[in-house]
Amino acid sequence: MTSKKTIALFGAGTGLGASLAHRFGSAGYRVALVARRAAPLEERVAALAVAGIEAVAFPADLTDLDGIPALVRSVKDRLGAIDVAVFAPAPSDASFVPAVDLDASTLQSMANIFTFAPVEVSHAVLPGMLARGDGAIVIVGGLTAVVTRPGMSGVGPLMAATRNYVLTLNAEVASRGVYAGMVNIGAVIDRSTGLRAMTASGAALDPNLPVIDPDTIAEEIQTLVARRDRVESILPPLPQS
């Protein structure tokens, strides 16, 4: 095994996942791509290979919490220690719910992917990072984890819980060489599955809905991992009051 570092992308889609793979891969990282469907992952592995980037596909359902420790072990066995872990799945079946309509059952149906899975992934990669005294974990969430919006509950409370966990985790492990950070996105990610789903019927995108280039998010994540001077980022930045 060479001295190259490894980044594991949990939720490696065509938008942010692709941008992160190219950015970190071009910087010399091996790339572990984790998502549910094997065929698209293998296509991305082949495309990255053309660009000279070493990547390996790890098909897995991140809502299967019991399978996450074994998934992390398989990444380590194949690519070595995980130096950077980014959790950024974007489930197509998740949607916001007005708070007046939200019940425990609805919240529970989304809890695995938005709260329990990022905690379990972090828990699985942390021992190795702490033992080495180096590593970074970045969780990508949405703006409603920070800013409440009428009619947009459900996902928000779950991501808010994850945000609380990440900020607390960083306070505990920063002095031991490990970084934990949160990136909150208040826009639709360009080239993503979510954007394609929104426009699949031919309907025009709401002009008031911002669209962000995933390369911008990937650059911000790389900056956070390198500098470790901020625990949280909001993109696009909120207007100054």
Long-range Cβ pairs for the range 164-167 (8 Å, 24+): 165/118, 165/119, 165/122, 166/118, 166/122, 166/137, 166/139, 166/231, 167/231, 167/232
Residues in the chain with pLDDT < 70?
1-2, 92-93, 194-207, 241
Indicate whether 240 belongs to any domain.
no
Is 57 inside any structural domain?
Answer: yes
Q: Is residue 164 part of a domain?
A: yes
Average pLDDT, the chain: 92
**What pLDDT, on the 0 to 100 scale, is given for residue 90?**
81
Give the separation between CA 172 and CA 9, rounded to whole angstroms.
23
For residue 38, is it within any domain? Answer: yes
**Considering the domain boundaries, does residue 45 fall inside one?**
yes
* Residue 151 is assigned to a structural domain of this protein: yes
CATH of the domain at 196: 3.40.50.720
> Rounded to an integer, what distance in angstroms lies between the CA atom of residue 227 and that of residue 54?
25
The answer as to whether 1 is a domain residue is no
Q: What is the pLDDT of residue 1?
A: 43
In a domain, 241, yes or no: no
Give the pLDDT of residue 200.
62
Provide the H-helix boundaries in the chain.
Answer: 16-26, 38-50, 68-79, 104-111, 117-132, 155-173, 193-199, 214-227
Residue 118 C-beta-side C-alpha neighbours within 13 Å: 29
Q: Which domain holds residue 50?
A: 6-234
* Total domains present in the chain: 1
pLDDT at res. 182: 98
